Chains A and B, each alone.
Chain A
Amino acid sequence: NAGVTQTPKFRILKIGQSMTLQCAQDMNHNYMYWYRQDPGMGLKLIYYSVGAGITDKGEVPNGYNVSRSTTEDFPLRLELAAPSQTSVYFCATGGANTGELFFGEGSRLTVL
């Protein structure tokens, strides 16, 4: 089992470009989350999903979009990249709403 797979691991974007960060899980978990972590700071919730077809905003959703068409995948879309979106992005999944979360290795994004 791969667990939680994030791609790409590293990416440099120019201002105004668009891209999608991929998150895939093979644990059949209903709950999936996207976080961003700026240097020296804690994790901030961007979007989350409690099941296929259901998504909701977290603390910092502006500038991002998500979709959850399958249980396995939860892509995060940046439409018009800005320098403020330079960060490390983590995807996480969980089964029952009380159990442990599993995190991906992160995707480091730089917007220049």
Chain B
Amino acid sequence: DAKTTQPNSMESNEEEPVHLPCNHSTISGTDYIHWYRQLPSQGPEYVIHGLTSNVNNRMASLAIAEDRKSSTLILHRATLRDAAVYYCILRGWGKLQFGAGTQVVVTP
């Protein structure tokens, strides 16, 4: 199964952008790159996903490398409510396994 690698934690000041990297060097051609976040004491919630092209939605942007071996989740203006664990996972057929994620700390 393809795995992802993320930094353990990242800090950001409020109102500044946050760039969260994810490496997935063993990604297969049919795997979609998904990002979820988990706020304290809550279940994970969907953030964004993509296959090859960069994607934007109201929550974030997803930049995917041309070789698809890495991607970056971009939170354009971090708020205190964005403090959470962010998971980068690959979704293809069947199994969907989470890694350890990145703990994002937002400082006022």
Contacts and interface: CB of A to CB of B under 8 A. Distances in A.
Same complex: yes
B97 A59 contact: yes
Q: How large is the interface on B (under 10, 10 to 19, 20 to 34, 35 or more residues)?
A: 20 to 34
A97 B31 CA distance: 9
Q: How large is the interface on A (under 10, 10 to 19, 20 to 34, 35 or more residues)?
A: 20 to 34
A100 B98 contact: no
B87 A42 contact: yes
Interface in B83-108: 85, 87, 91-101
A98 interface: yes
A76 to B, nearest CB: 15
Interface string A87-99: 0001010100111
Interface stretch (A14-22, A62-70, A78-86, A102-110): A102-110
Contact of A101 (B46, B51, B92, B101): B46
B9 to A, nearest CB: 13
Contact of B43 (A45, A97, A103): A103
B51 A98 contact: yes
Given A50-B94, A97-B91, A42 B99 contact: yes
Contacts of B101: 42
Interface in B9-42: 32, 34, 36, 42
Interface of A: 33, 35, 41-45, 48, 50, 56, 58-59, 90, 92, 94, 97-106
21 contacts: A41-B100, A42-B85, A42-B98, A43-B87, A45-B95, A45-B96, A45-B97, A48-B94, A48-B96, A56-B94, A58-B97, A97-B91, A97-B92, A97-B94, A98-B51, A98-B92, A100-B46, A101-B46, A101-B91, A102-B46, A103-B44
